[in-house]
Structure 1
Amino acid sequence: MIKVLVVDDDFMVAKVHAGFVRQTPGFEVVGVAHTGAQALVEARRLTPDLVLLDIHLPDISGLELLQQLREAVPELDVLVISAAREVDTVRRALRGGIVHYLMKPFSGDDLRERLEHYQRSYGSLDSSKSTAEQADVNRVFGLSRAERPLPKGCSVETLRLVEELLRGTAADLSASEAADVLGTSRVSARRYLEYLSEEGRVTVQLRYGGVGRPERRYRWMPAG
C-alpha cells in the first residue's frame, strides 16, 4: 500500500483530494496538513511514500517546502497539485524532482490517472529489485510504449472496460474468461490483454496442464 500525505491550505479541498486518493486502489491517506510547518511534522512522523503538495501555503512556498520535505524524508516522492500556472513555477517544481504536476481544478479521474502512473512506474523500481530493466526506467520518464496507438480494430472504450475488469478481479484471468465477461471474442480479449502486458500494466503467468500450449493468465500489476 502506498502511503499518501495530503498538503493543502484549504480544509475542504484537502478533504476532497484525500477522498480521490482513497478511491484509488493501492493508496491510503495517512495524514493531512494545511501549513508547511504541519506538513514537515507529519512527514517526519508518518514517513509517507508520496506527498500531494500545494504550492500556495500560508507560511511557506510549496517550492521551498519541497526541498525541506526531501531533507526530512529522503525517500519521499512529491506530486504537486496547484492552481499555480506560471512557467517559472512549473520549471522550478520539475527541477525539484517532482513525479508530476497537476493543475487545479481537476477531476478525480485526472488524479487517479497520475496516481496509477506513479504506482506502475515507480513501483517497478522498488528496493526488492537489484537491477532495473530499460522498460522500468522508460516508464518513470514517460517513454513507455503506452503512447503508441492501440492495435488495429481496438478501441479506447473497450480497453478501459478490460482495465476495469482486471482491477476489480482479485484472481488472474484468461482471455476466454475475460471475453465471457466483456461479451467479446476470445481473440479480441486477448489482443487487449497482450497490449496491456506489453505496456507493463499487467503480469502474465503460464498455467500448465492438459494437452497443448500452456494457458496465459493475466493479472493487474500489483502496487509497488
Structure 2
Amino acid sequence: MIRVLVVDDQPVVARAHRVFIDRVPGFTTIDVAHDGKAAIARVVAGGIDLVMLDLSMPGMHGLEVARAIQGLPDAPDVMIVTAARDLESVRAAVRYGAVHYLIKPFTFAMLRAKLDHYASYRAAAAGRRDVTDQGEIDAALAALRDPGGAVLPKGMSPETLSSVRAALVAAPEGLTAAQTAEVVGASRVTVRRYLEHLTVTGGCEREPVYGGAGRPELRYRLRTERS
C-alpha cells in the first residue's frame, strides 16, 4: 500500500483529494496537512511514501516545502497538485524532484492515471540492487509517463486538442469556436467540443460576446492566473 500525505490549505479541497486517493487501489491517505511546516513535520515523523502537494499556501510556498522535503533522509516522492500553470513553477517543481505536476481542477480519471503510473514506477524501481543495463533505467522512468497523454473523453484525439490549445496560445485575447475552427481546419461543432473540454478541465475560460442579433457567441481564452 502506498501511503499518501495530502497538503492543501483549503480543508474542503484536501478532503476531496483524500476521497479521490482512497478510491485508487493500492493507495491510502495517511494524513492531511494544511500548511508547509505541518507537512514537513509529518514527513519527518515517517510513514509517508508520496506527498500530494499544493503550491499556493500561506506562510510557506509549496516549492519551498518540496525543496525541504528533498533534503530529508529517506524523503518521500512529491506530486504537485495546483492551479498554478506557469512554466516557471513547472520547471522549479521538476528541479525539486516532483514526479508529477497535476493542474487543478482535475477529474478522478486524471488523478488515477497519474497515481497508477507512479505505482508502476515504484514497482519497477523497487529494491537496492544495481540495475542490469540502461534499458532497465529507461523502462522505470518511462513508467511515470503516459505515452498517450492525458485521459480524453471518447472520440477526442490528442492531436486535435493540441491544435486547439495552440490556437488559443496564439490568440491571448481569446477566440470563438468559429474562429478556432478556421485556424484548426475542423468543424465548429468539433472544435467547440474540445473548447468545452478545456473549460471543464480548467485549461481555459469562456465569456459571452455581445454585439449582433440573436444569442451571443462564446469567446474562449486560456487561463493564466497563478494560484
TM-score range, shorter chain: 0.5 to 0.7
Aligned to 1:58: 58
Query: 2:69·2:75 contact (CA, 8 Å) conserved in 1?
Result: no
Closer/same/farther in 2, CA of residues 24 and 39 from structure 1, 3 Å limit: same
Over residues 104-146 of structure 1, what are the superposed CA-to-partner deviations in whole Å (9 max), with x where a residue is unaligned?
0001111110000000012211116443554542244337997
Over residues 184-222 of structure 1, what are the superposed CA-to-partner deviations in whole Å (9 max), with x where a residue is unaligned?
xxxxxxxxxxxxxxxxxxxxxxxxxxxxxxxxxxxxxxx
| 1:198-217 paired onto structure 2 within 5 Å | none
Instruction: Single out whichever of 17-26 and 43-52 deviates more from structure 2.
Output: 43-52
Aligned to 1:77: 77
The amino acid of 1:99's aligned partner reads: V
Q: Secondary structure at the match of 1:101?
A: strand
Closer/same/farther in 2, CA of residues 133 and 144 from structure 1, 3 Å limit: farther
In 2, the alpha carbon distance for the partners of 1:51 and 1:110 equals 17
Q: TM-score under structure 1 normalisation? A: 0.61
Aligned to 2:37: 37
The amino acid of 1:36's aligned partner reads: G
Cα distance, 1:79 vs structure 2 = 0.4
Aligned to 2:26: 26
Query: 1:135·1:144 contact (CA, 8 Å) conserved in 2?
Result: no
In 1, the alpha carbon distance for the partners of 2:116 and 2:144 equals 14
Unaligned runs of 5+ in 1: 149-156, 158-224
> Equivalent pairs: percent with the same residue?
36
Q: Secondary structure at the match of 2:71?
A: helix
Aligned residues: 150
Closer/same/farther in 2, CA of residues 140 and 55 from structure 1, 3 Å limit: farther
2:135 equivalent to 1:118: no
Query: 2:63·2:93 contact (CA, 8 Å) conserved in 1?
Result: yes
Q: TM-score under structure 2 normalisation? A: 0.60
Query: 1:121·1:136 contact (CA, 8 Å) conserved in 2?
Result: no
Cα distance, 1:76 vs structure 2 = 1.1
Unaligned runs of 5+ in 2: 149-153, 155-227
Closer/same/farther in 2, CA of residues 101 and 143 from structure 1, 3 Å limit: same
In 1, the alpha carbon distance for the partners of 2:12 and 2:145 equals 38
Query: 1:9·1:57 contact (CA, 8 Å) conserved in 2?
Result: yes
2:7 equivalent to 1:7: yes
Over residues 68-106 of structure 1, what are the superposed CA-to-partner deviations in whole Å (9 max), with x where a residue is unaligned?
112234331000000001111111111111100000000
Over residues 18-43 of structure 1, what are the superposed CA-to-partner deviations in whole Å (9 max), with x where a residue is unaligned?
11110111111111000001101111
Aligned to 1:101: 101
Closer/same/farther in 2, CA of residues 73 and 104 from structure 1, 3 Å limit: farther
